[in-house]
Amino acid sequence: MFEQVTVEVPGWLDEDGEQVTTTVIELCEKEQDDGEERQDRDDANLSDNERLAADKLLFMPNALTYLFCGNVSAEYSITTTSALYNPKTGDWAWEIIDALGLKRSLFPAIVPSGTVVGTVSEQLQEELKCGPLPVILIGSHDTASAVAAVPVQKGTNWAYLSSGTWSLIGLELDKPLITAESGEANYTNEGGVGGKIRFLKNIMGLWLIQECRNEWIRQGTEYSWGDLVKLAQAAEPFFAFIDPNDASFVTPGNMPKRIAEFCRKSGQKVPETPGQIIRIALESLAMRYKMSVDDLEVITGNKIDVLHIVGGGCKNDLLNQFTANATGR
């Protein structure tokens, strides 16, 4: 059974800087067609009174900044992922905001990462027994900070793969790339550190492996991550392939069963052992990464020399090797 969890955040402030609403997150069980449990998130909507009382909208990272020093702003990288940002004008998407009936005054100034926005409040200085430490906006979107840490060598055309539960693959550009081809390939333009654009797409990641492991634990066998890598190494290469982005793999549940079912429905050999299943998942991810790198070269017209892998998934040497083999990089 999942419990209901309530998280209170100062996401909406009134004109006095007081919190006027909370975010409620509910975890509940629902039945899917295959009878498996599913976890849903239900975010509470603002009431009319709360919307009228709200003076400023703060995204979560900027709400934390407000708690540290009282600064009200919208950091660039997190703002660009809101669907309320216009990458062509570099400002809020006022036409969308107006169409939603939201007050323009709700939206604070968009500020670059790296900006010093204040000092830690006197209350916190007293509590932490510290001096007036500066508060500096980081790349508030986690992938923006991850991409900023990529060890790039000058003169190379490089792409990045943020590898973890989910995968994000793309390029760092100086300006947005908005074309019919990029839209068809499902690439987006998100903000990066230093005013850069993260031209990227989302791909399924090690969620597949995590959910397989969780299912085997439920069945009574607890494999370590190292155990799963060894089993995959010993399994037959190219036994079968799945589309990691298929909708059947998105929700929690019996992932080994879903992988086997995908193979059966697509006319391939059906895996039976944990090693086969994990190898199929890893090789399929690597091939999806290759397809995405190929797409990037076609869309931009530039050859990619290097693929940098960052994030927790970079610890999976087997997936890294499969990715290097598949992409030739």
Tell me the C-alpha to C-alpha distance, in Å, between residue 49 and each of 40, 103, 110.
27, 14, 26
The pLDDT tens digits of the residues spanning 80-111 come to 999 999 999 999 999 999 999 999 999 999 99
Strands (DSSP E) contained in the chain are 4-7, 12-13, 23-31, 37-41, 56-57, 74-75, 85-86, 91-92, 110-111, 116-119, 134-136, 158-163, 166-173, 188-191, 197-204, 306-310
Out of 14, 55, 142, 227, the active site residue is 142
Indicate the range of 38-52, 200-214, 234-248, 279-293 predicted with least confidence.
38-52
For residue 197, give both structure tokens.
Answer: 């654009």
Mean pLDDT, residues 295-320: 95
The pLDDT of residue 304: 97
Residue 112's nearest CA partner among 134, 138, 149 is: 138
Averaged pLDDT of the chain: 88
In sequence order, the 6+-apart residues with CB closer than 8 A to the CB of 24 are 6, 7, 42, 43, 44
pLDDT band at 295 (very low <50, low <70, confident <90, very high): very high
Question: Left if phi > 0, otherwise alpha if psi is -120 to 50, otherwise beta: which for 60?
Answer: alpha
The pLDDT tens digits of the residues spanning 153-205 come to 888 899 999 999 999 999 999 999 999 999 999 999 999 999 999 999 999 99
142 an active-site residue?
yes
The pLDDT of residue 3: 40
Structural domains present in the chain: 4-136 (3.30.420.40), 141-329 (3.30.420.40)
Our separate counts of H helices and E strands in the chain read 12, 16
pLDDT at 313 over 60: yes
The pLDDT of residue 316: 96
